[in-house]
Amino acid sequence: MQHSDETQRAARREAARLNAESVRGVALTWVDNAGLTRVKAIPTGRLAHVAGRGVGMSPVFDVYLVDDSITTSPHIGGPDGDLRLVPDLERLTVLAAQPGWAWAPVDRYDQEGRPYAACQRLFARRMARRAADRGIDLRMGFETEWVVQRDGTCPWTGPAYGMARVVELSDYVDEVLGALGAQGVEVLQIHPEYAAGQFEVSVAPADPVGAADLAVLVRETVRAVSLRHGLTALFGPVVEAGGVGNGGHLHLSLWREGRNLCRGGDGPFGMTGDSESFLAGVLGALPALLAIGAPTPASYLRLEPSHWAGVFQCWGLENREAALRFITGAPDDPDGANAEVKCFDAAANPYLVTGAVIAAGLAGLEAGARLPAPVQGDPAVTGGVAVPGGATGAGAAGREAAGGTGEPRTGTGTARREVGTGPARLPRSLPEALEYFEGSEVLREALGDALFEAIASVRRAESELFAGRAPQQIADATRGRY
């Protein structure tokens, strides 16, 4: 926690700028382990003080559940203690859809000014630095999906991906684009999605912490614009049980000295060896990572085969049914090559997602892991057809390190499968994903005991909270919470 004169001067300059723009309040946000964005708000005039000293907040929020009930964990829980929320002034943003308001994400510290061990944003920053120590810079970006309703129903008739839906809601979509642009968010595309009233917006990639910050800012901007139009934006993993849910897909690419490591190599589809090892680490850890990226019982209502949700532990070139989709990009676009993790959803804490994915990828890099053969087609239909020439031929040992075969091993998270049945199905429930998570030495070491145990406690408590409920009851209880 900084107390430097320069920090104070910067905060006073920002406060003066906000005052000149008639901003009276600043929302200071963090995302808890249940995936909910929590806030403390301050008057603009307090910004300089809070930038140096922070504002108080109880650590118990790290064991809040989606319904605002509270569990406990070995390191966190109960009414005692206090933390300091310190805004990141570099991310301070005037909110275009909330006149009179600005926003900044916070890092959390203890009362002595030491980094709080369970701060999710500091965890993401720590993992990004760990990658940088290996000479790797990560560029990441989240897709944000949501369903828009009016008075609890969806009166629009436009088809999936149809221009009719844009026409029906053109003023709304225009304001979403305008608000994001006014906030300096570079939108790559926005379009109607598959479900009724569903949209998706993709923004330009950023560093891992910045990508998570953008995920929060984009969501709250969409929420604010929706309310201004008399609409409700629903970000939960499922709105209607049995339907197509809201994903929170993560795109990532690896860079070294300005070069995209996802292309220009002699590995599968042109990726470099470091890129292949990193992605193999992510693929192998996906069963455990689901406890981070698919964090609620509602998530497993979304994870259905043949729904482009990525429910099989496999990868493929432009395969939207694979949990890990590789994208080469156009030959003349060096920025275009990247990978997409498709099995994550909008209930996930984006800081935990970026940090945990980096941790898994670095473990794969350290082990020299290699990807198994890529698959083509829908694994639910074909069983996963290997693509000739797509893999490096690293052999069984390399494929096992990447999660392509075998039973769960401590720290790897390889999903169970039957011999000869093709790619493994990822966990079908939160308790199953939690079992893999709790067995992951990689994630425990990266997160640290306090954060790791708090996450596990929240997952366990939410599993118990929704035990025995019908799918639509779970959807109804969660779809509007995020």
Q: What is the tens place of the pLDDT at every residue in 290-347? A: 999 999 999 999 999 999 999 999 999 999 999 999 999 888 887 899 999 999 999 9
Classify residue 182: in a domain, yes or no: no
Give 414's pLDDT tier (boundaries 50, 70, 90).
Answer: low
Query: Is there a single domain that holds both residue 252 and residue 109?
Result: no
Average pLDDT over residues 363-382: 94
Read off the CATH number of the domain in which 110 is found. Answer: 3.10.20.70
Query: Is there a single domain that holds both residue 42 and residue 141?
Result: no
Residue closest to 146 by CA, chosen among 82, 218, 92: 218
Average pLDDT over residues 42-55: 95
Q: Does residue 87 contact residue 105 with C-beta atoms inside 8 Å? A: yes
Classify residue 140: in a domain, yes or no: yes
Give 411's pLDDT tier (boundaries 50, 70, 90).
Answer: very low
Range of the domain at 91: 5-116
Give 456's pLDDT tier (boundaries 50, 70, 90).
Answer: very high
pTM of the model: 0.93
Q: What is the mean pLDDT of the chain?
A: 92
Average pLDDT over residues 69-89: 96
The answer on pLDDT for 66 being more than 50 is yes
Identify the pLDDT of residue 412: 46
Classify residue 157: in a domain, yes or no: no
Classify residue 246: in a domain, yes or no: yes
Cα–Cα distances in angstroms (integers) from residue 224 to residues 13, 96, 131, 152, 348, in the given order: 27, 9, 35, 17, 20
Q: What are the φ and ψ backbone dihedral angles of 51, each rounded to 5 degrees?
A: -65, -30
Classify residue 176: in a domain, yes or no: no
> pLDDT tens for residues 255-288?
999 999 999 999 999 999 999 999 999 999 999 9
Amino acid present at 318: E
Domain boundary among 71, 96, 116: 116
Query: Is there a single domain that holds both residue 139 and residue 34?
Result: no
Identify the pLDDT of residue 386: 59
Average pLDDT over residues 58-80: 97
The answer on pLDDT for 426 being more than 90 is yes
Give 413's pLDDT tier (boundaries 50, 70, 90).
Answer: low
Token pair belonging to 345 = 């959803």
Query: Is there a single domain that holds both residue 111 and residue 138?
Result: no
Give 415's pLDDT tier (boundaries 50, 70, 90).
Answer: low
Read off the CATH number of the domain in which 457 is found. Answer: 3.30.590.10
> Residue 241, SS3?
coil
Task: Find the distance separating the first CA and the last CA of the chain, reported in whole Å.
Answer: 29
Cα–Cα distances in angstroms (integers) from residue 44 to residues 56, 92, 94, 327, 406, in the given order: 17, 12, 11, 44, 56
Average pLDDT over residues 120-138: 98
Query: Is there a single domain that holds both residue 245 and residue 355?
Result: yes
Query: Is there a single domain that holds both residue 16 and residue 133?
Result: no
Identify the pLDDT of residue 5: 79
330 DSSP 8-state letter: -
Classify residue 413: in a domain, yes or no: yes
The answer on pLDDT for 448 being more than 70 is yes
Domain boundary among 72, 96, 116: 116
Q: Does residue 270 contact residue 332 with C-beta atoms inside 8 Å? A: no
d(CA 169, CA 104): 29
Q: Does residue 293 contact residue 343 with C-beta atoms inside 8 Å? A: yes
What residues contact 101, with CB distance under 8 A and at least 6 apart? 23, 24, 25, 26, 27, 94, 95
Classify residue 311: in a domain, yes or no: yes
Identify the pLDDT of residue 420: 46
Query: Is there a single domain that holds both residue 129 and residue 106?
Result: no
CA atoms in the 13 A half-sphere facing the CB of 383: 6
Cα–Cα distances in angstroms (integers) from residue 230 to residues 132, 151, 226, 310, in the given order: 45, 8, 6, 34
Give 7's pLDDT tier (boundaries 50, 70, 90).
Answer: confident
Query: Is there a single domain that holds both residue 88 and residue 50?
Result: yes
Identify the pLDDT of residue 215: 98
Residue closest to 266 by CA, chosen among 172, 438, 389, 387: 389
Identify the pLDDT of residue 157: 87
Query: Is there a single domain that holds both residue 13 and residue 135?
Result: no
The answer on pLDDT for 34 being more than 80 is yes
Average pLDDT over residues 67-86: 96
Token pair belonging to 129 = 């630095």
The answer on pLDDT for 129 being more than 60 is yes
The answer on pLDDT for 2 being more than 80 is no
Identify the pLDDT of residue 391: 45
Query: Is there a single domain that holds both residue 387 and residue 292?
Result: yes
Identify the pLDDT of residue 396: 32
Identify the pLDDT of residue 3: 60
Percent of the chain residues past pLDDT 70, beyond the cut = 91
What is the number of structural domains in the chain? 2
Identify the pLDDT of residue 416: 54
> pLDDT tens for residues 154-202?
999 889 999 999 999 999 999 999 999 999 999 999 999 999 999 999 9
> pLDDT tens for residues 230-252?
999 999 999 999 999 999 999 99
The answer on pLDDT for 349 being more than 70 is yes
The answer on pLDDT for 367 being more than 90 is yes
CA atoms in the 13 A half-sphere facing the CB of 160: 5
Average pLDDT over residues 400-418: 42
Average pLDDT over residues 377-391: 69
Classify residue 165: in a domain, yes or no: no
Identify the pLDDT of residue 392: 40
> Residue 432, SS3?
helix
How many degrees, rounded to 5, is the angle at CA 316 between CA 311 and CA 317?
A: 135
Residue closest to 214 by CA, chosen among 137, 121, 149: 121
Query: Is there a single domain that holds both residue 131 and residue 75?
Result: no
Identify the pLDDT of residue 116: 98
Query: Is there a single domain that holds both residue 59 and residue 139?
Result: no
